[in-house]
Structure 1
Amino acid sequence: MSEKLQKVLARSGQGSRRELELMIQNGRVSIDGKTAKLGDRLEDGHDSIVRIDGHKINLVAPSEEVCRVLAYNKPEGELCTRHDPDGRRTVFDRLPRLESGRWVSVGRLDANTSGLLLFTTDGELANRLMHPSHRVEREYMVRVFGDVNEQMIKNLVNGVELEDGMARFEDVVYAGGEGMNHTFYVMLTEGRNREVRRLWDSQGVTVSRLKRVRYGDIFLTKDIPRGGWMELELKEVNYLREMVELKPEENTMLTVEGQKRKKGVRQIRRAVRRHEERINDDSPRGRRGRQDKRRSSSRNKDAEATSQGRRKPSGNAANRRNPLKNKPAKPRTRK
């Protein structure tokens, strides 16, 4: 039995099938020293040597693959690309390293868009989740600037002709606003380039903030701070696989302790902050300067509290916090 070359490479974590088809078309893939072409297949039990851009690829057999999925809270300003020639931050900079294969992003978000972005080691899963035929729901919180009336909402739900064809929101729910600023939750079942922004632009209003809050039934909660990630449990991975008609995964890379909600919010925040400090600090002087600044800030706060007659809390009182402060937001549901 044989499999298409792009399917084998996707399973080995080299990208989605769509990305790999482009690599093959551009002559970047070879089999046993010969440039591959679309339609090439690999037989089961083969010993062929496959290379991408001259680098040998460790091919993964179906029985060896463990499907992993990460939920990442993308901040604004990060790019959905592996390498940026200008040295700007990318969404792959903060992800955990893999011993083999690589993380494949499930779709993209614009640099100015924040929120939930899924990553997986299974290129076939990524390809199916992105494909419009599976109609996987994507929900966004969007803030727009301008007058919005009922006819505009009807237009957006019924469909608008864009430069690349008809597009529409499956659902639009008003979430409040003041003056010319209005917030909505909108839902799509496809992921065309800048589709949410272009739909609102067609009605003469401008998107001032855009954040993805849901992909399928995977919600972005307060458990994941900006720039942080969390690995999905096996039942969540299999929910995604079942949704796109893939066989369930039997194994997970999470430990037993990891399945008890993995890392705490504070621990993730500290990891994100350390990552940012490593990027910003190019020299020991930068680290010393930051430490001195923290000490000075701490002393100033203590002095200010003393002058105002407030005593600095100590012991258990210093660690006491509002139990509702970091409570995850309740997922938004529709009747």
Structure 2
Amino acid sequence: MSEKLQKVLARAGLGSRREVEQWIAAGRVSVDGDVVELGTRVEEDAKIRVDGKLIRTTPAEETTCRVIMYHKPEGEVCTRNDPESRRTVFDNLPKIGAGRWIAVGRLDLNTSGLMLFTNDGELANRLMHPSFKVEREYASRVFGDVSDDKLKALRKGVMLEDGKAKFDKIQVKGGEGINQWFYVTLSEGRNREVRRLWESQELKVSRLIRVRYGALTLPRELPQSTWRELSLEEVNYLREEVQLPKEDRSKPSVKSRIGEQERLRRVRRSVSKHRSQAHRRVRRR
């Protein structure tokens, strides 16, 4: 049975469906030797090339959808290769074998917190698409006089350079003086949207952390620059949110970085304890 070309390439983990569609429109994709256009459907045995490179594709029934959550620190960029040689979020991710990890949205350089990555381009595309209204929650420390009128305007909606935007929810979380913490929720992921909303009220965000994506929250036990793979139940929650069929199997072929770090911490504690005991024995002598 034939499938849309962009869906096949997205499932192969080359990129989100949106990215793949741009490649097709630019004439970078060929099928059985012919450059094709958007809307092309392909059979399972088609020879698909991107920039002349033959792509290994996998039938839908043989593909296992995988998702990992990552705790991004400030200072990492969300690109695979940075011309300024800065660290990227992809530097710390596990090897995946076939396909590649696709970022579900981005966080800017000075924003930390929860990011999701998947090998399923269709899932990534739907989670990012505003029509599905998947909530994102951010902890934001705001510098300035945050009046009730400003909060009301942010809930009602303000006009930004790329259209009207608003916070779906705003919770005051305390703070000192003119530095206060707010938890804000919105259901789209435009570039720097949280910061731009606050800036529209002449307020500055001095700290920004994404703490939730849908129902998935950033675990307290997940250190920065580490990741864990989602369970089958968690993966299927995301798939249901964006109207994709459930998976019936998982493929946890990589160990959680949390477990590895915990093992190293235990080793270091054991070594430290041993040295302290040896030092005490020497002192008694």
Q: Given the two structures, how large is their TM-score scaled by the length of structure 1?
A: 0.77
Choose which of 305, 314, 325 in structure 1 pairs with 2:277. 314
Does residue 263 of the first structure (1) align with residue 254 of the second (2)? no
Equivalent residue, structure 2, for 1:112: 110
Whole-angstrom distance in 2 between the partners of 1:22 and 1:52? 12
Equivalent residue, structure 1, for 2:252: 254
Q: Secondary structure at the match of 1:177?
A: strand
Equivalent residue, structure 2, for 1:12: 12
User: For 1:53-72, what aligned pairs fall within 5 Å after superposition?
Assistant: 53-72=51-70
Compared CA separation, residues 267 and 20, structure 1 to 2 (3 A): farther
Deviation at 1:99, TM superposition (A): 1.5
Equivalent residue, structure 2, for 1:82: 80
Deviation at 1:123, TM superposition (A): 0.7
Q: Secondary structure at the match of 2:259?
A: coil
Equivalent residue, structure 2, for 1:303: none
Equivalent residue, structure 2, for 1:27: 27
Cα deviation code 1:207-264 (max 9, x no counterpart): 1111100000111012211000000111111111111111111111127x969x9726
Whole-angstrom distance in 2 between the partners of 1:220 and 1:268? 22
Whole-angstrom distance in 2 between the partners of 1:55 and 1:83? 20
Whole-angstrom distance in 2 between the partners of 1:26 and 1:269? 49
Deviation at 1:268, TM superposition (A): 7.7
User: For 1:146-225, what aligned pairs fall within 5 Å after superposition?
Assistant: 146-225=144-223
Q: Contact 1:223–1:264 (CA<8 Å) still a contact in 2?
A: no
Q: Contact 1:138–1:188 (CA<8 Å) still a contact in 2?
A: yes
Q: Secondary structure at the match of 2:246?
A: coil
Equivalent residue, structure 2, for 1:94: 92
Whole-angstrom distance in 2 between the partners of 1:231 and 1:124? 18
Deviation at 1:265, TM superposition (A): 5.2
- Between 1 and 2, higher relative CO (CA 8 Å, sep ≥ 6) is seen in 2
Q: Secondary structure at the match of 1:22?
A: helix
Compared CA separation, residues 204 and 140, structure 1 to 2 (3 A): same
In the alignment of these two chains, the number of paired residues is: 272
Cα deviation code 1:47-105 (max 9, x no counterpart): 22111222211111011100000000011111111111222211111111122011111
Equivalent residue, structure 2, for 1:124: 122
Among all aligned residue pairs of Structure 1 and Structure 2, give the percentage whose two residues are the same amino acid: 58
Whole-angstrom distance in 2 between the partners of 1:88 and 1:265? 23
Q: Which moved more, 1:7-16 or 1:27-36?
A: 27-36
Unaligned runs of 5+ in 1: 271-297, 299-311, 316-335
Cα deviation code 1:252-304 (max 9, x no counterpart): 1127x969x9726524879xxxxxxxxxxxxxxxxxxxxxxxxxxx9xxxxxx
Choose which of 128, 134, 137 in structure 2 pairs with 1:136. 134
Q: Contact 1:13–1:123 (CA<8 Å) still a contact in 2?
A: yes
Q: Contact 1:228–1:269 (CA<8 Å) still a contact in 2?
A: no
Deviation at 1:194, TM superposition (A): 0.7
Whole-angstrom distance in 1 between the partners of 2:230 and 2:74? 23
AA paired with 1:53?
D
Unaligned runs of 5+ in 2: 267-271, 279-285
Whole-angstrom distance in 2 between the partners of 1:172 and 1:198? 15
Q: Contact 1:31–1:50 (CA<8 Å) still a contact in 2?
A: yes
Q: Contact 2:143–2:203 (CA<8 Å) still a contact in 1?
A: yes
Equivalent residue, structure 1, for 2:36: 36
Whole-angstrom distance in 1 between the partners of 2:109 and 2:30? 33
Equivalent residue, structure 1, for 2:229: 231
AA paired with 1:263?
G
Whole-angstrom distance in 2 between the partners of 1:269 and 1:88? 27
Q: Secondary structure at the match of 1:314?
A: helix
Tell me how large the CA RMSD over aligned residues is: 2.3
Whole-angstrom distance in 2 between the partners of 1:108 and 1:231? 19
Compared CA separation, residues 262 and 144, structure 1 to 2 (3 A): closer
Deviation at 1:143, TM superposition (A): 0.8
Deviation at 1:152, TM superposition (A): 0.5
